[in-house]
Chains A and B, each alone.
Chain A
Amino acid sequence: VTPALILSLISILAGVLKANPQIPTQVGQVVSDVSGSLAVLFSNLMNSKTGQVRLSPTTIIAAIGGVIVALKQDPNLPQDLLAKLNSLDQALSAALVADKLASQTVDYSTLHAIAPVT
């Protein structure tokens, strides 16, 4: 996955969030700030000659988690959206836990096939 592709995805995220009238201006600003920080991270990654500056999934996920937390604190958002954001928050947590465990111990018995959605 190229950093440019990831950057484009973040742009999509920022654009969708900022364009949605249900998202308060302040949260839109948070999204912009996070997007800017991520852009710097990716830029450092791409320009690093020594390889010492590396992209951390944990940092990126935490930043996106911050956006989700900010959205969840808006009392004007509809319940269904809040529920979805809650789920995404949990999905992020699960992914982070899985990533940490997987970086320490390899146990292929934890992997299994997933049934398609109907």
Chain B
Amino acid sequence: MKKAIRIALPLIAIVLMMVVGCHHNPATTVPAGAINQFDATAYRILSDAQAAIEFIKKDVDAKTITLTDQQKAIFNQLIMHYNTAEAAAQAYHANGNGQADTSTLTTALNQVIADIAAVSTQIQGATTRQKTATAGGVQ
């Protein structure tokens, strides 16, 4: 199981990174329902993140994945910041005129992306420590 986690968690980090962090598509037509491109991009980032987080959370809840306390704390931090960004996006969208301040939502979205990077860093550290321990005969 631990080996499975060692393989799976980096994949999770990559999946989250890809679905949340790579929207470099140019602004062309604003999708239906959006008040402007910023509103649409925020929605897309959060929609992707929500889908990925919920699938991973389902596995954690079902104990398909067992997270260490540290990993759980980081994952919950990601969820917390997702929730903050989601609330900020809802408020921006509800404002309706596109004139609301974007800085709060931008900061919140960047925090979500930073959290995903933190997950990967934590995983990398765990992997490195494990390799060191194995090489030195210490478990």
Question: When the two chains form their complex, are residues B87 and A117 in contact, meaning their CB atoms are under 8 A apart?
Answer: no
Chain A residue contacts of B56, Cβ below 8 A:
87, 91
Chain A residue contacts of B75, Cβ below 8 A:
117
- A residues 1-15 near B (Cβ < 8 Å) are 1, 5-6, 8-10, 12-13, 15
A60 at the interface (CB under 8 A from B): yes
Chain B residue contacts of A13, Cβ below 8 A:
10-11, 13-14
Count class of interface residues, chain B: 35 or more
Count class of interface residues, chain A: 35 or more
Binding site for A on B (CB under 8 A): 1, 3-8, 10-15, 17-19, 21-26, 31-34, 39-40, 43-44, 46-48, 50-61, 64-65, 67, 72, 75-76, 79-80, 82-83, 86-87, 89-90, 93-94, 113, 117, 120, 123-124, 127, 131
Given A61-B15, A108-B90, 17 other A-B contacts at CB below 8 A?
A: A9-B13, A16-B127, A54-B25, A61-B18, A84-B8, A85-B11, A87-B56, A88-B8, A98-B47, A99-B48, A107-B33, A107-B43, A108-B33, A111-B86, A112-B86, A113-B87, A116-B79
